[in-house]
A and B are shown apart, each in its own frame.
Chain A
Amino acid sequence: MVNVIVLIKQMPDLEQIRSDPGTGKPIKNGVPTKLETLSENSIEAAVTLKEKYGGKVTAILFGNEQSSASMKRAYAMGVDDGYIITGYKESNYLFTARVLAEKIKELPHDVIILGNQSADTFSGFLSGQLSAILGEPLLGNSVSIEIEGDIVKVKRNLENKSLVISAKKPAIVSVSQEINEPRLPPVMQIMAAGRKPIHTEVPKIQPSGSVQIVSEISPKSDRKKIIFEDVDKGVSEVGKILKEATR
Chain B
Amino acid sequence: MKALVFSESSTLAAQVISGLKSVLDFSVAVPKDQADSVSEYGAKEVISLDGNPQMDAFGKKISELMNSYDFLFVPSTVLGREVAGYVSAALGQISVPEISKFEIVDSKCKTSSLSLGGKSIIDIISDAKVLTVAPGFADPVKVSEKSKISVMTLPDSSVSVISEEEKKGTGVNIESAKVIVSIGRGIGKKESISIVDPLLKAVHGELAGSRPVCLDYQWLSEDRQVGLSGKKVNPNVYIAVGISGQIQHIAGMRGSKIVVAINRDKSAPIFEECDYGIVGDLFQVIPKLVAAING
Contacts and interface: CB of A to CB of B under 8 A. Distances in A.
A211 B295 contact: no
Nearest to B279: A229
Interface stretch (A42-50, A71-79, A233-241): A233-241
A243 B87 CA distance: 52
A225 B82 contact: no
Contacts of A227: 266, 271, 274, 276-279
- Secondary structure at chain B's binding surface: helix, strand, loop or mixed? mixed
A208 B89 CA distance: 12
Contacts of A238: 260, 276, 278, 289, 292
Contacts of B92: 94, 208
Interface in B18-73: 54-56, 59, 63
B115 A120 contact: yes
B191 interface: no
A226 B277 contact: yes
With a 10 A CB-CB cut-off, give which of A93, A168, A208 has the most chain B CB atoms.
Answer: A93
Given A97-B85, A97-B89, A216-B120, A231 B288 contact: yes
Interface string A128-162: 11111100011111000000000001000111111
A163 interface: yes
- List 8 tightest A-B contacts by C-beta distance, closest first: A239-B292, A128-B85, A124-B81, A125-B85, A123-B97, A129-B89, A128-B86, A234-B278
Given A161-B164, A229-B279, 13 more contacts: A14-B247, A132-B85, A137-B158, A158-B77, A162-B167, A163-B161, A216-B115, A223-B275, A227-B271, A231-B284, A235-B285, A239-B292, A242-B260
B241 interface: no
Nearest to B79: A158
Contacts of B157: 137
A53 interface: no
Interface in A163-180: 163-168, 174, 176-178
Given A119-B117, A128-B81, A212-B124, A160 B169 contact: yes
A17 interface: yes
Nearest to A135: B158
A167 B156 CA distance: 13
Contacts of B103: none
Interface residues of B, number: 98
Interface in B104-132: 108, 110, 114-128, 132
A241 B239 CA distance: 12
11 contacts: A129-B89, A132-B63, A160-B169, A161-B167, A165-B161, A167-B158, A223-B272, A228-B278, A242-B289, A243-B293, A245-B237
Given A94-B93, A141-B78, A164-B163, A210 B127 contact: yes
B90 A132 contact: yes
A161 B260 contact: no
A120 B251 CA distance: 12
Interface string B191-235: 000000000001111000001000110000010000011000000
Contacts of A194: none
Contacts of A119: 117, 248
A127 interface: yes
Contact of B211 (A165, A177, A234): A177
Interface in A203-231: 208-219, 221, 223-229, 231
A120 B116 contact: yes
Interface in B250-295: 254, 258-260, 266, 269, 271-280, 284-285, 288-289, 291-293, 295
